[in-house]
Amino acid sequence: MNWFRDYLLPRGGATHAGDVDGLFMFIIYLTIFFFFFNGALIFYAVKRWRRRSDREVTPHITHDTRLELIWSFIPLVVVMLVFFWGFKGYVRAWVAPNDSIEIVATGKKWVWQFEYPDGTRTLNDLHVPVNKPVKLVLHSEDVIHSFYVPGFRLKRDAIPGRYTELWFTATEPGVQQVFCAEYCGKGHSDMLARIFVDTPEQYETFLREGDEQVRKMPLKDLGQLVYENKGCATCHSLDGTRGQGPSWKGIWGKVHTGTDGKQYTVDANYIRQSILQPQAVVVQGFEPIMPTFQGLLREREISGLIEFIKSQE
């Protein structure tokens, strides 16, 4: 009866989907059985004891303790079985293994944002490796949302002001649909995301070069994305105001004096060094507080930043 299961449920793509499906189908058969059982009893009673004359006399049967015990006991056994089955599946899906990849998923009207352990961020597209446990830490920036992956048989609310968790091990490469399942207003039904279950090689490429969206982005736009997402914006302004660090407005090609008294022209190599070894040259009048981004930025992202700074006139 696999066709029936495949008709009712989307193809299972995570380790515990099979568990859920087994119970689901068990209750389906239970429901169908009791529906037809009750239906047959009613049908039989009506056929057999349809009133033929108004003078018919019926037996005065007030109860039957044995029968009543039987039909209380059988449902009790059945529902306890269903309870334990459901509980078992739930427990298994409860604690994430220690070696899970931890990804933070943030819901906000009406997008899903993902942040990976290396700081990479993606919007509405989540990349995970196949056959590796992944733990999602969910939260919301506005109202309650719910992260729902039908193919994984998983769902958990993303709640403002607290963290909830969800974990899975995807079993086959491909794409899984993600829905927002908690009503969140106008864009609720468009708050969709996709999970790309990658082969190990695809996942490597993703970590090295970003997802396809990022790979196709023009350098300057990528630079702006990094500027906003990797914290440069907290210290560097674009409009000339002095922050903790110098503004980037119009610095390309200018000559800056370092605390060592030497003169430096702001060019590609200088910027590259400033990002990777910020303490090598410290601009006069500023504290040496800029953290190094060595190992935190991809090659292409650094090139993007250079393009972006170049464009700030």
Partner 1 sequence: MSEAITHNGIGHAAHHADYLEDPKGLWSWLTTLDHKRIGLMYLWSVLTFFLAGGIFALLIRLELLTPKQTIMTAEQYNRVFTLHGTIMVFLVIIPAIPAALGNFVLPLLLGAKDVAFPRLNLASLYVYWTGALMALSTLLLGGVDTGWTFYTPYSTTTGGGVTMMVLAAFTLGFSSIFTGVNFITTIHKLRAPGMGWFEMPLFCWGMYSTALIQVLATPVLGITLLLLVMERVLGVGIFDPQLGGDPVLFQHFFWFYSHPAVYIMILPGMAVISEIIPTFSKKTIFGYKAIAFSSVAIALLGFLVWAHHMFVAGMSLFAGAIFSFLTFFIAIPSAIKVFNWIATMWRGSISLEAPMLYAMAFLLIFTIGGLTGLFLAALSTDVHLHDTYFVVSHFHYVMAGTSLFALLAGIHYWWPKMFGRMYSNKLAPLACALVFIGFNATFLPQFVLGSRGMPRRYYNYLPQFQDLHVASTVGSWILAAGLFLAAAYLLASFRGPKNAPANPWGGRTLEWETTSPPTTHNFEGQPVLQHGPYDYRANPAPVGVHEHSH
For partner 1, the binding residues in 180-219 under the rule CB under 8 A are: 180-190
x/- string (CB under 6 A) for ligand HEC, residues 192-231?
Answer: --------------------------------------xx
Instruction: Please count the residues of this chain forming the interface with partner 1, following the rule CB under 8 A.
Output: 83
Q: Are strands 111-115 and 121-123 parallel, antiparallel or unpaired?
A: antiparallel
Residue 245 binding ligand HEC, by CB under 6 A = yes
**In 10 A of CB 224, how many CB atoms?**
20
Collapsing DSSP states into helix, strand and coil, what is residue 97? coil
Measured from the CB of residue 139, what is the shortest distance to ligand HEC in angstroms? 24
- Residues 178 and 171: their CA atoms lie apart, in Å, by 16
x/- string (CB under 8 A) for partner 1, residues 34-53?
Answer: xx--xx-xx--xx--xxxx-
Residue 136 binding partner 1, by CB under 8 A = no
Residue 293 binding ligand HEC, by CB under 6 A = yes
Query: DSSP assignment, residue 189?
Result: G
> Given candidates 133, 151, 210, 245, which one binds partner 1 under the rule CB under 8 A?
151
Residues 53-112 that bind partner 1 (CB under 8 A): 54, 56-64, 67-68, 71-72, 75-76, 79-80, 82-83, 85-91, 93-94
Residues 251-270 that bind ligand HEC (CB under 6 A): 251, 256, 266
Between 159 and 268, whose beta carbon lies closer to ligand HEC? 268
Residue 306 binding ligand HEC, by CB under 6 A = no
Between 22 and 250, whose beta carbon lies closer to ligand HEC? 250
Residue 169 binding partner 1, by CB under 8 A = no
Residue 310 binding partner 1, by CB under 8 A = no
Residue 184 binding Cu ion, by CB under 5 A = yes
- Select from 151, 158, 201, 153 the least CA-distant residue to 177: 151
Measured from the CB of residue 111, what is the shortest distance to ligand HEC in angstroms? 23
- Select from 127, 97, 92 the least CA-distant residue to 112: 127
CA angle 168/172/298 to nearest 5° reads 75
> Given candidates 13, 150, 246, 304, which one binds ligand HEC under the rule CB under 6 A?
246
> Given candidates 290, 300, 310, 312, which one binds ligand HEC under the rule CB under 6 A?
290
- Residues 164 and 167: their CA atoms lie apart, in Å, by 11
* CA 198 to the chain's CA centroid: 15
- Select from 150, 138, 210 the least CA-distant residue to 181: 150
Measured from the CB of residue 39, what is the shortest distance to partner 1 in angstroms? 6
- Select from 245, 173, 223, 229 the least CA-distant residue to 202: 173
| Sign of the Cα pseudo-torsion (223, 205, 179, 99, in order) | negative
| Sign of the Cα pseudo-torsion (272, 240, 122, 139, in order) | positive
- Select from 93, 79, 122, 88 the least CA-distant residue to 210: 122
- Residues 223 and 229: their CA atoms lie apart, in Å, by 10
Between 144 and 233, whose beta carbon lies closer to ligand HEC? 233
Between 38 and 269, whose beta carbon lies closer to partner 1? 38
Residues of the shown chain interacting with Cu ion in the complex, contacts defined by CB under 5 A: 145, 180, 184, 191
